[in-house]
């Protein structure tokens, strides 16, 4: 007998992965250049030179036993100190090594944090549309996932819907800004309202309600900055990853920052260490941990994403597509031309366009376009988007 739950999870890949795998097969059949794959958030720009320079330097100069050996379970002390100091000088926080836990990316940061927080009977809120893996992570931690829709039209916080959803069982809310799949950056007004609602509910129910701030796109904002949530709400745990900012998704490196403004932050940090231990997420890859200090505050050249964003938005809206102009990340969330987003994606496939239907993001009738691709791919795909719009009589 094996776990039915895990068997089901393993057999059914996520909608995003399923389309990505279809794309691989299709590219082998008709040639890479003939398939317009917008399925995965896999960065297409190189990591900044500092990444490889630091790796080379470490390989040439560091003690190989130390470089490739275990670090302490929460991570290398110098790396944790460097991250704490970086956050303190960038955001005016009081972070230090003591409240930083190194992880293998945002997915691990989230599962560890949920493992540390969730008790029997707890609920975790997500703002729909949301990254589909939140359901898998929260339910595996033992929480009931509670979907709260964002405001229709701009995907900012729907204050009434959130107020109505928080109850005595709410342990945490996962917030992701800049957002996957909408590209929306929560406004200061939304973040302030979120903080106010949660503070009032904490008082009403007499226990902390945490924000789990999922931040793999923190630096990916076009013209401005995303409000830094720990500066608006004390009980915040940030789940960070270098996957997108440094174009290093395959290297699996990130961290958890338990804000020192959390109630009993030391206890919570111990619980993070415990959850990391229970999940087997200790000693994140040593080489990558040692690369991190030289890369803090640096990013890959994200100007290409900005070019893609403008090109795609301008052309798609000209063809009759509707979507919120994204301020961050590298996704566009576009209204499907029919209610059934799955059927619309099948139609898009006839033009070799690979889009992800919105259902697994917790809303119906949209598709996600991941535009972290080469600009030439978008240029070549535009006639296909145009033909798809024609199929639906939009032009």
Contacts with ligand PLP, residue ranges (CB under 6 A): 41, 105-107, 131, 176, 180, 214, 216, 241, 243, 249, 254
Of residues 117 and 388, the one with the C-beta less far from ligand PLP: 117
Which of 47, 13, 102, 78 lies closest to 250, judged by CA?
A: 47
Of residues 156 and 201, the one with the C-beta less far from ligand PLP: 156
Give residue 138's Cα distance to chain centre: 15
Of residues 171 and 218, the one with the C-beta less far from ligand PLP: 218
CA 183/CA 200 separation, integer angstroms: 29
Of residues 86 and 392, the one with the C-beta less far from ligand PLP: 86
Rg (CA), the chain: 21
Residue nearest to ligand PLP (CB): 105
CA 328/CA 183 separation, integer angstroms: 5
Q: Is residue 171 helix, strand or coil?
A: strand
The kind and range of the H/E element at 368 are strand 366-370
Residue 137: CB minimum distance to ligand PLP, A: 9
**Placement of tokens 């720009």 in the chain:** 45
Of residues 126 and 304, the one with the C-beta less far from ligand PLP: 126
Residue 252: CB minimum distance to ligand PLP, A: 7
Q: Is 351 exposed, middle or buried (0-12, 13-18, 19+ CB in 10 A)?
A: middle
- Token code pair at residue 379: 């240029």
Of residues 243 and 289, the one with the C-beta less far from ligand PLP: 243
Of residues 110 and 388, the one with the C-beta less far from ligand PLP: 110
Is the peptide bond preceding residue 129 cis, with omega within 30 degrees of 0? yes
Residue 129: CB minimum distance to ligand PLP, A: 11
Beta bridge partners of residue 241, listed in sequence order:
254
Residue 243: CB minimum distance to ligand PLP, A: 4
**Placement of tokens 């009434």 in the chain:** 160
Residue 186: CB minimum distance to ligand PLP, A: 13
Query: Phi and psi (nearest 5°) for 335?
Result: -65, 130
Residue 131: CB minimum distance to ligand PLP, A: 4
Give residue 240's Cα distance to chain centre: 9
Residue 215: CB minimum distance to ligand PLP, A: 8
277 within 8 A of 33, measured Cβ to Cβ: no
Of residues 182 and 201, the one with the C-beta less far from ligand PLP: 182
Which of 290, 213, 288 lies closest to 253, judged by CA?
A: 288
Residue 373: CB minimum distance to ligand PLP, A: 15
Q: Please report how many Cα atoms fall inside a 13 Å half-sphere around the Cα of residue 369, on the Cβ side.
A: 27
């Amino acid at each position: 007998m094996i776990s039915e739950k895990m068997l089901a999870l393993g057999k059914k890949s996520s909608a995003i992965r399923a389309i990505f795998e279809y794309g691989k097969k299709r590219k082998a059949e008709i040639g890479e250049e003939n398939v317009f794959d917008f399925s995965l958030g896999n960065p297409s720009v190189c990591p900044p030179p500092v990444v490889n320079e630091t790796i080379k330097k470490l390989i040439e100069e560091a003690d190989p036993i130390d470089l490739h050996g275990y670090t302490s379970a929460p991570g290398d002390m110098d790396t944790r100190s460097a991250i704490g100091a970086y956050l303190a000088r960038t955001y005016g926080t009081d972070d230090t090594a003591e409240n930083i836990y190194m992880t293998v990316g945002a997915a691990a940061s989230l599962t560890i944090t949920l493992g540390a927080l969730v008790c029997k009977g707890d609920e975790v809120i997500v703002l729909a549309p949301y990254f589909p893996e939140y359901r898998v992570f929260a339910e595996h931690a033992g929480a009931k996932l509670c979907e709260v829709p964002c405001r229709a039209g701009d995907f900012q916080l729907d204050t009434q819907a959130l107020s109505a959803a928080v109850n005595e069982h709410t342990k945490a809310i996962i917030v992701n800004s800049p957002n996957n799949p909408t590209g929306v950056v929560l406004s200061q007004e939304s973040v302030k309202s979120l903080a106010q609602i949660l503070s009032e509910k904490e008082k009403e129910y007499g226990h902390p309600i945490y924000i789990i701030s999922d931040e793999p796109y923190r630096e990916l904002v076009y013209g401005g900055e995303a409000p830094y949530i720990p500066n608006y709400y004390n009980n915040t745990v940030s789940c960070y990853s270098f996957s997108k900012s440094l174009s290093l998704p395959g290297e699996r490196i990130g961290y958890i920052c338990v804000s020192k403004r959390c109630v009993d932050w030391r206890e919570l940090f111990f619980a993070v260490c415990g959850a990391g231990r229970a999940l087997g997420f200790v000693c994140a890859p040593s080489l990558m941990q040692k690369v991190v200090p030289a890369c803090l505050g640096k990013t890959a050249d994200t100007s290409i994403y900005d070019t893609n964003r403008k090109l795609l938005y301008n052309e798609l809206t000209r063809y009759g597509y509707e979507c919120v102009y994204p301020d961050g990340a590298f996704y566009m969330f576009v209204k499907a031309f029919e209610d059934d987003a799955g059927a619309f994606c099948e139609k898009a496939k006839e033009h070799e366009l690979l889009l992800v239907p919105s259902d697994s993001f917790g809303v119906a009738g949209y598709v996600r376009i991941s535009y972290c691709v080469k600009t030439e791919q978008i240029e070549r795909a535009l006639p296909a988007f145009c033909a798809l719009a024609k199929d639906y009589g939009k032009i």
